[in-house]
Amino acid sequence: MPNYEPDLSTTFSALGDPTRRGVLARLGQGAATVSELSQPYDMALPSFMQHLKVLEKSGLVHSHKAGRSRIYELQPERIREAEQWLQQQRQLWEQRLDRLDDYLLQMKEERE
């Protein structure tokens, strides 16, 4: 199996849920507790906490206990990795199209 990249898999899978993307967007504004993060969502707390666990397992966020609260913060490295993979794919695609354009242009010139 070529391109075996387990980190990217858990990162992209974690990103594939609107609740989890919402949490990441919120954490972009700064660290927050479980209750602060869950407040906008109409969802039982254990269900919401499951999403937080998925985010933490993927490495997209990090948490620590402070008194009876748990504080989550963004961990931007995994976001950068995912972004770079996408950027690379897009760039390879665009370079190929450029080479195709060059080729077609050359064909055209040779016919003239």
Q: Does 69 bind DNA (CB under 7 A)?
A: yes
> Which residue, 50 or 89, has its beta carbon nearer to DNA?
50
Question: CB of 79 within 8 A of CB of 60?
Answer: yes
Question: CB of 82 within 8 A of CB of 75?
Answer: no
d(CA 96, CA 99): 5
Question: CB of 104 within 8 A of CB of 58?
Answer: no
Q: Does 6 bind DNA (CB under 7 A)?
A: no
Q: Nearest CA to 55 among 80, 85, 78?
A: 78
Q: Which residue among 44, 66, 86, 104 contacts its own copies (CB under 8 A)?
A: 86
d(CA 23, CA 56): 12
> Which residue, 4 or 67, has its beta carbon nearer to its own copies?
4
Residues within window 24-53 making contact with its own copies, judged by CB under 8 A: 24-25, 28-30, 40-42
Binders of its own copies: how many residues, by CB under 8 A?
43
- Contact set with its own copies (CB under 8 A): 1-6, 8-19, 21-22, 24-25, 28-30, 40-42, 74, 76, 79-80, 82-83, 85-87, 89-90, 92-94, 96
